[in-house]
Structure 1
Amino acid sequence: MSTSDEMYDAAVKLKDLGDLAGAVLKLQEVIAADPGHTVSHSALAVYLQKLGRLDEAIHHARQVVELEPHDGFSYTQLSVIYQRCGKIPEAEEALARARIMNGGH
Structure 2
Amino acid sequence: MASVDELYGEAEKLKDAGEYEACVAKLEEAITADANHVLSRLAMAVVLAKLNRHEEAIQHGEHACAVDPSDWFNFTALSQTYVKALVATNNLVYKDKAEEAMARGQMLQQGG
- Please indicate the TM-score interval, normalised by the length of the shorter structure: over 0.9
Query: What residue number does 1:90 align with?
Result: 97
Moved more, 80-89 or 11-20: 11-20
| Alpha-carbon separation, structure 1, partners of 2:17 and 2:110 | 39
**Percent of aligned positions that are identical:** 42
After TM superposition, the score normalised by the length of structure 2 is 0.89
1:35 match: secondary structure: coil
Alignment coverage as a number of residue pairs: 105
Where does structure 1 lack aligned partners over 5 or more consecutive residues?
A: none
After TM superposition, the score normalised by the length of structure 1 is 0.94
Query: What residue number does 1:5 align with?
Result: 5
| Alpha-carbon separation, structure 2, partners of 1:2 and 1:104 | 36
Shift of 1:17: 2.2
| Alpha-carbon separation, structure 1, partners of 2:33 and 2:76 | 26
Shift of 1:95: 0.8
Moved more, 26-35 or 10-19: 10-19
User: Which stretches of structure 1, 4 residues or longer, exceed 3 Å deviation after superposition?
Assistant: none
